[in-house]
């Protein structure tokens, strides 16, 4: 049996066992390795390169909207964490504590940051005094620690990489504008860069961030019909400001509390990329976040002139895109499977016969479509193919979401959908948490969001039959 065949068979079928398929992808596409600490993973170069591209793209968007990067300490004194009651209660089960420094027991426990609201609040209280000091538009790239009971690479790990924006504003209106602005930044990024369609909406009171006035979310649908909270943006109002005494003197020389926001995405986005786009042959990456967008593979590279021409093509393409050249001594079939497994969007094959015809073979990773293009305008042709692939992947993901979006008029219908054809479920809700709890208890579905784009499916709550207030997107989630 050929090596190419073995590589493909090494991945469990997505339809047979989605969870094992996912694990196979992250390992065999060389994205992560497991560490000796339960729930912690090593980001391999290929996995980290994807994160770097995500980070670079988002960082530019943040700076274009006036935000500056800062860095806060990793440790939070317990007394500081306790200042915001709702916040600390929300994170208490996930907090990791440092109790000793060397051989000495600490006089006060230090929390390893699960998030940095309290640190930013302490800092803002020290640096914000006047209306002239506002707004403060800060962002931090860092890692955080949450002591999860059940873990899965990228989706839920004890330590993970993320960004967390923290801003302070003079008025409630400015804070709300910032909250929605950053949610829209995330949504546009997910759709146009990651090729993942999202639904924007507000979290219910039960699902909102601990200590927030309101939480807004972008929700995406995975290939198995489960939802993934892809990014969140929180309006804190002045709750944290009152707990930490963050006040400023306004233009009338009156003391006012600031209004704050927080927003973040993490390496969970890589998990979303896998579960939305990939297939039984391995990883599939949208060109925008592929570390290598085109891999040049010389065929019969021992023949005179083949490697030289392949390098010439690589050099030409490198001025426009991220390109690699696999000139290893492995067989071409092995190389094809290897780079397919790693999700390289385009494969460029070049052999002696192609050189004679002044052409090369291009194979798309997503559709496996093969086409011949002239070497004279190879740069322009490949750029067009990459652009088409990016758009096609978003369209295909959108079509999948549409095919897995349902409506329900009863809890029984929600339960049946969840068990037989999982996906997004549109159903009306009265707004009472007791109904939200009952739906979760009986079906396993949670309220993913109250979408901004509302529909009137019926006038009655799907649970209690009382007058409905909102149409909610329900679903089982990661």
pLDDT tens digits, residue range 148-192? 989 999 999 999 999 999 999 999 999 999 999 999 999 999 999
CATH class of domain segment(s) 405-475: alpha beta
Can you read off the two tokens belonging to residue 26? 């992250």
Q: Is the pLDDT of residue 435 over 60?
A: yes
Better-scored residue on pLDDT, 278 or 84: 278
Q: Given this model, what pLDDT does residue 256 score?
A: 98
Percent of the chain with pLDDT over 70: 98
Rounded to the nearest integer, the mean pLDDT of the chain is 95
**Binning pLDDT at 50, 70 and 90, where does residue 6 land?**
very low
Can you read off the two tokens belonging to residue 120? 């930013």
pTM (2 decimals)?
A: 0.95
Q: Is the pLDDT of residue 123 over 70?
A: yes
Can you read off the two tokens belonging to residue 250? 């306004």
Inter-residue contact 462 to 411 (CB < 8 Å): yes
Q: Given this model, what pLDDT does residue 86 score?
A: 72
Q: What's domain 17-277's architecture?
A: 2-Layer Sandwich (3.30)
Q: Given this model, what pLDDT does residue 199 score?
A: 98
Q: Is the pLDDT of residue 269 over 60?
A: yes
Distances from the Cα of 289 to the Cαs of 48, 57, 303, in angstroms? Answer: 11, 9, 34
Q: Given this model, what pLDDT does residue 90 score?
A: 74
Query: Which residues, at least 6 apart from 9, have a Cβ–Cβ distance to it below 8 Å?
Result: none
CATH 3.30.110.30 domain span(s) along the chain: 405-475
Average pLDDT over residues 301-315: 95
Considering only the C-alpha atoms of the chain, give the largest distance between any 2 of them, rounded to a whole number of Å.
81
Tell whether the torsion through CA atoms of 330, 336, 338 and 343 is positive or negative.
positive
Better-scored residue on pLDDT, 6 or 57: 57
pLDDT in tens, 31-53: 999 999 999 999 999 999 999 99
Average pLDDT over residues 427-455: 98
Q: Is the pLDDT of residue 7 over 60?
A: no
**Binning pLDDT at 50, 70 and 90, where does residue 83 land?**
confident
Let me know how long the chain is: 478
Q: Given this model, what pLDDT does residue 9 score?
A: 55
3-state secondary structure 90-157: HHHHHCEEEEEECCEEEEEEEEECCCCHHHHHHHHHHHCCEHHHCCEEEEEEEEEECCCCCCECCCEC
CATH 3.30.930.10 domain span(s) along the chain: 17-277
3-state secondary structure the chain: CCHHHHHHHCCCCCCCCHHHHHHHHHHHCCCEEECCCCCCEEECHHHHHHHHHHHHHHHHHHHHCCCEECCCCCEEEHHHHCCCHHHHHHHHHHCEEEEEECCEEEEEEEEECCCCHHHHHHHHHHHCCEHHHCCEEEEEEEEEECCCCCCECCCECCEEEEEEEEEEECCHHHHHHHHHHHHHHHHHHHHHCCCCCCEEEECCCCCCCCCCCEEEEEEEECCCCCEEEEEEEEEEECHHHHHHCCEEECCCCCEEECEEEEEEEECHHHHHHHHHHCECCECCCCHHHCCCCEEEEECCCCCCCHHHHHHHHHHHHHCCCCEEECCCCCCHHHHHHHHHHCCCCEEEEECHHHHHCCEEEEEECCCCCEEEEECCCHHHHHHHHHHHHHHHHHHHHHHHHHHCEEECCCHHHHHHHHHHCCCEEEEEECCCHHHHHHHHHHHCCEEEEEECCCCCCCCECCCCCCECCEEEEEECEC
CA distance 9 to 119: 49
**Binning pLDDT at 50, 70 and 90, where does residue 85 land?**
confident
**Binning pLDDT at 50, 70 and 90, where does residue 5 land?**
very low
Regarding beta strands 323-325 and 346-350, do their DSSP bridges make them parallel or antiparallel, or are they unpaired? unpaired
Can you read off the two tokens belonging to residue 227? 């939802």
CA distance 77 to 82: 9
Average pLDDT over residues 405-414: 98
Inter-residue contact 134 to 168 (CB < 8 Å): yes
Q: Given this model, what pLDDT does residue 18 score?
A: 97
CATH 3.40.50.800 domain span(s) along the chain: 290-388
Q: What's domain 290-388's architecture?
A: 3-Layer(aba) Sandwich (3.40)
CA distance 194 to 394: 8
């Amino acid at each position: 049996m050929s090596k190419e065949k073995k590589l493909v068979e090494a991945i469990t079928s997505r339809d047979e066992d989605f969870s094992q398929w996912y694990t196979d992808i992250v390992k065999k596409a060389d994205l992560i390795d497991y560490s000796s600490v339960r729930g912690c993973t090593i980001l391999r170069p290929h996995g980290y390169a994807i994160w770097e591209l995500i980070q670079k793209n988002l960082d530019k968007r943040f700076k274009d909207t006036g935000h500056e990067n800062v860095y806060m300490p990793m440790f939070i004194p317990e007394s500081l964490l306790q200042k915001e009651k709702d916040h600390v209660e929300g994170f208490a089960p996930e907090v990791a504590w440092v109790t000793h420094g060397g051989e000495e027991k600490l006089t006060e426990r230090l929390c390893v940051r699960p998030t940095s609201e309290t640190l930013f609040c302490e800092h803002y209280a020290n640096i914000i005094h006047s209306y002239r000091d506002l707004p403060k538009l800060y962002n931090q790239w860092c890692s955080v620690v949450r002591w999860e009971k059940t873990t899965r690479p990228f989706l839920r790990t004890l330590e993970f990489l993320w960004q967390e924006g923290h801003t302070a504003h003079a008025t409630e209106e400015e804070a709300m504008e910032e909250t929605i602005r950053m949610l829209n930044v995330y949504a546009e990024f997910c759709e146009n860069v990651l090729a993942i369609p999202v639904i924007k909406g507000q979290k219910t009171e039960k699902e909102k961030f601990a200590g927030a006035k309101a939480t807004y979310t972008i929700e995406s649908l995975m290939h198995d019909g489960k939802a993934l909270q892809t990014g969140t943006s929180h309006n804190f109002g002045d709750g944290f400001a009152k707990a930490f005494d963050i006040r400023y003197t306004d233009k009338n020389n009156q003391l006012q509390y600031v209004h704050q926001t927080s927003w973040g995405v993490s390496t969970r986005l890589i998990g979303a990329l896998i579960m939305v786009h990939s297939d039984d042959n391995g990883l599939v990456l949208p060109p925008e976040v592929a570390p290598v967008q085109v891999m040049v593979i010389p065929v019969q590279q021992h023949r005179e002139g083949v490697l030289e021409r392949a390098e010439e093509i690589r050099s030409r393409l490198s001025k426009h895109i991220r390109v690699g050249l696999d000139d290893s001594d492995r067989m071409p079939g092995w190389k094809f499977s290897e780079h397919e497994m790693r999700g390289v969007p385009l494969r460029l094959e070049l052999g002696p016969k192609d050189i004679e015809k002044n052409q090369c073979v291009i194979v798309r990773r997503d559709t496996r479509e093969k086409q011949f293009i002239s070497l004279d305008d190879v740069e322009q042709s490949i750029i067009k193919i990459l652009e088409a692939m990016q758009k096609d992947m978003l369209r295909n993901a959108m079509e999948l979401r549409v095919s897995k979006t349902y409506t329900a008029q009863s809890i029984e219908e929600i339960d049946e959908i969840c068990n037989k054809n999982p996906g997004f479920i549109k159903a009306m809700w009265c707004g009472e948490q007791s109904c939200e709890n009952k739906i979760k208890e009986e079906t396993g579905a949670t309220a993913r969001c109250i979408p901004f784009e509302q529909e009137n499916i019926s006038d009655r709550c799907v649970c209690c039959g009382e007058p409905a207030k909102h149409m909610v997107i329900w679903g089982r989630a990661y």
